[in-house]
Amino acid sequence: MIVPLGHVFLLAGIIFSMGLVCLVAHRNLIMTLIGVEVMMNAAAIAFVAAALRWQLMEGQAFVLFILAVSAAEISLGLALVVSVYRRTGSIDPDRYDILKW
């Protein structure tokens, strides 16, 4: 007997929207990636709560895959950030205009 399921979902939803704001508000590619991480974290919390609610382990297995995908995503994203920084000297996505003419 811990808490109602809805409270965990509310917590996850608030964290998810925080990550969304972080994603769109910052002019820094690293902060964008951090926002994506926060959103994945919120999704993982919701999955674990659902796994406990229905007493099934599928939810926890899915959290493991979320973890793996998020690790791959952040490492690839950071490699892209470093690559684009080498190419343009900036990590502000508003200043990329190579494809503009």
Footprint on this chain of other proteins (rule: CB under 8 A): 1-11, 13-15, 17-22, 24-28, 30-31, 33-35, 37-38, 41, 44-45, 48-49, 51-53, 55, 57, 60-61, 63-65, 67-72, 74-76, 78-83, 85-87, 89-92, 94
Contact between 23 and 35 under an 8 Å Cβ cutoff? The reply is yes
The Cα–Cα gap between 17 and 36 comes to 11
Contact between 71 and 33 under an 8 Å Cβ cutoff? The reply is no
Closer CB to other proteins, 91 or 101, in the complex: 91
| Type of residue at 20 | L
Closer CB to other proteins, 89 or 101, in the complex: 89
